[in-house]
Amino acid sequence: MIHVRGLTRSFGAVEAVRGVDIDVSKGEIVGFVGPNGAGKTTTLRMLTTLLRPTSGTATVADCDLFTDPAGVRRRIGYVAQGGTVGPFSGVGEELVLQARLYGLSRSEARERVTRLLEELDLAGGEKRTAGQLSGGQKRRVDIAMGLLHRPELLFLDEPTTGLDPQSRTNLWGHVRRLRAESGMTVFLTTHYLEEADALCDRILIIDDGTIVASGTPAELKAAHDAGTLDEVFLAVTGRELREGAAA
Amino acid sequence: MTALAALTGHYLRTSFANRFAIVFGAIQPLFYLVIFGPLFSRSGVGSWDTLVPGLLVQLALMSSGLVGFGVVFDQRFGVLERLRVTPAARSTLLLGRVLKDSVVLLIQAAGIIVLGYAFGMRAEPVGVVLGLLLITVLSIGMAALSYAAALTIRMELFAPVMSTLVIPLMLLSGALLPMSLAPAWLDVVSRFTPFRYAVEALRALFAGPPTSPTVLWGVLVTLVFVAVGFTIGTKVYQRENT
Ligand SMILES: Nc1ncnc2c1ncn2[C@@H]1O[C@H](COP(=O)(O)OP(=O)(O)OP(=O)(O)O)[C@@H](O)[C@H]1O
Ligand SMILES: [Mg+2]
């Protein structure tokens, strides 16, 4: 579903991503983990056609990133780290617009939005503006934005940051269900290693623009003789992902 | 096509949800019409028929010139990225916005014309309709440039830069006082701004048959302006935003 070789991206003198290789098969849930500034968002923005790589090759959802970005866009969903709706915009209005940009008819779009909001515990949320929602509710609206067209491949950039434990667990359930029902592939970033452990089939650890470890949670733990992924992270990078996480 | 219709409809609904903003976008020309117009029409310089076409160009500059603000917010809140990752062409994303802007401008311009008639403007209805068309086309170029500027210059500079830029352009167009009064140097400078030709074409259209060379020049210059404006706008919209 994703095949990436030697992908790099610089911003002036800053080498944000320094040659990453990524392979993700259909139906996998893959976690992309790393500290602030590691290059996670930059990588995702390249794979979703928003940023031009400085070098490298990539096929995303069976389309070449460089020669067929429109094909990539049709097949993927992307939920950005920074949100998707302004505070004064009506949630339903924005979701329906997004669905229609993916080619759904007006009635299909409305139906889909209602369904999706129900599934994300936001039933009836259409009539509100994003500014009237709590942080976690707004985050779920962002996630709905990426699911409207039932993409084959979904990129989630820190989907659970700001969600309470229950909403996080609900979201994991939703992601697992999507994979079970439609075989959707999910590539997500997170700072929560226990989340990656619980949710992901495979994990890539990125630090300073390079992938420093990858494997299933069990493989990673075994390879570093660690009980938790936090310990793996410490062993691989010499740092803790979050203060006190591996303690 | 679905995408363009959905976008334009969305932006129109959002605009009409706030009708006050539509009136407010035309507030400067409205003030000129109501407070400056009565003086102007008795000054011996010109009549309502001279002033109203000028105010329409002022409107296009002020109203469409500042629409870029909207996209600044879209960029800040991640809306732009969200739209950019859909299959809709980036030129469509721009066109949807610009079409909304031209509809809003058309409504504002119609309001000013109606008020102009109420004050005593005597203009050919056919010319007025053609004039509305011309001003709408002009506004498309202006709006596209406004979005390009909003996505290019620093967010907090957009409003001051645009409003500072728009005023000399408006004065140079002869929108308020015709350039026939200008000293030679000012007249020459004015000829390098596209809006002068639009103002003069509008005055000619309001005054008589739409066949004079002035009208032709105005139409030509405006078409070139739109082509350039929309090309620049699309270029900027297609650029990645880092
Ligand atoms: N548009 C940009 N212009 C300049 N530098 C950038 C830009 N975007 C990212 N960077 C730099 O690239 C590096 C990687 O940033 P990126 O956003 O990819 O990190 P991240 O792994 O997503 O971090 P976080 O966990 O904080 O979201 C950082 O050093 C950042 O400052
Ligand atoms: Mg990030």
Look over chain B and give the mean of its residue pLDDT values, rounded to a whole number: 92
Is B3's CB within 8 Å of A100's CB?
Answer: yes
Average pLDDT over residues A37-44: 94
Percent of chain B with pLDDT over 70: 99
Question: How far, in Å, from the CA of A82 to the mean position of ligand 1?
Answer: 12
User: Is B65 a residue whose pLDDT tops 70?
Assistant: yes
Q: What's CA B122's distance to the chain center, in Å?
A: 23
- Give A10's contacts in chain B (Cβ within 8 Å): none
Token digits of residue B181: 């009064």
Q: What is the pLDDT of residues A87-131, one digit of tens each?
A: 888 999 999 999 999 999 999 999 999 999 998 888 888 889 999
Is B87's CB within 8 Å of A70's CB?
Answer: yes
In this prediction, residue A245 carries a pLDDT of 47
**Interface residue B181 vs chain A (CB under 8 A):** no
In this prediction, residue A243 carries a pLDDT of 56
Cβ count within 10 A of residue B177: 16
- The phi and psi torsions of A4 (rounded to 5 degrees) equal -130, 135
Pair A226, A232: CB distance under 8 Å: yes
Strands A29-33 and A202-207: what pairing?
parallel
* CA of A158, closest atom in ligand 1: 27
In this prediction, residue B226 carries a pLDDT of 95
Listed by start position, the domains of chain A span: 2-84+151-237
Across the beta sheet with A202-207, the strand order is A76-79, A153-157, A185-190, A29-33, A202-207, A210-215
Closest alpha carbon to A4 in B206, A17, B132: A17
Question: How far, in Å, from the CA of A39 to the mean position of ligand 1?
Answer: 6
SS3 B105: helix
Pair B29, B62: CB distance under 8 Å: yes
Look over chain A and give the mean of its residue pLDDT values, rounded to a whole number: 90
Task: Tell me which residue has its CA closest to atom 25 in ligand 1.
Answer: A36
B242 lines ligand 1 (CB under 6 A): yes
- The phi and psi torsions of A184 (rounded to 5 degrees) equal -65, 140
User: Is A247 a residue whose pLDDT tops 50?
Assistant: no
Q: Quick one: fold of A2-84+151-237?
A: Rossmann fold (3.40.50)
In this prediction, residue B242 carries a pLDDT of 63
Q: What is the pLDDT of residues B181-226, one digit of tens each?
A: 999 999 999 999 999 999 999 999 999 887 889 999 999 999 999 9
In this prediction, residue A246 carries a pLDDT of 44
**Interface residue A174 vs chain B (CB under 8 A):** no
Alpha helices (H) in A33-131, listed in sequence order? 40-47, 69-75, 91-101, 106-119
**Interface residue A101 vs chain B (CB under 8 A):** yes
A39 lines ligand 1 (CB under 6 A): yes
Pair A79, A146: CB distance under 8 Å: yes
Ligand nearest to the Cα of A37, by number: 1
**Interface confidence (ipTM) of the complex:** 0.90
Is A86's CB within 8 Å of B88's CB?
Answer: no
Closest alpha carbon to A35 in A224, A242, A179: A242
Average pLDDT over residues A143-150: 92
User: Is A47 a residue whose pLDDT tops 80?
Assistant: yes
Q: Nearest chain B Cα to A145, which residue?
A: B82
Question: How far, in Å, from the CA of A17 to the mean position of ligand 1?
Answer: 9
Residue with tokens 């048959």: B209
User: Is A16 a residue whose pLDDT tops 80?
Assistant: yes
Q: What is the pLDDT of residues A172-207, one digit of tens each?
A: 888 888 889 889 999 999 988 888 888 899 999 999
Average pLDDT over residues B158-165: 89
Q: Which residues pair with A189 in a beta bridge?
A: A32, A157
* pTM of the model as a whole: 0.89
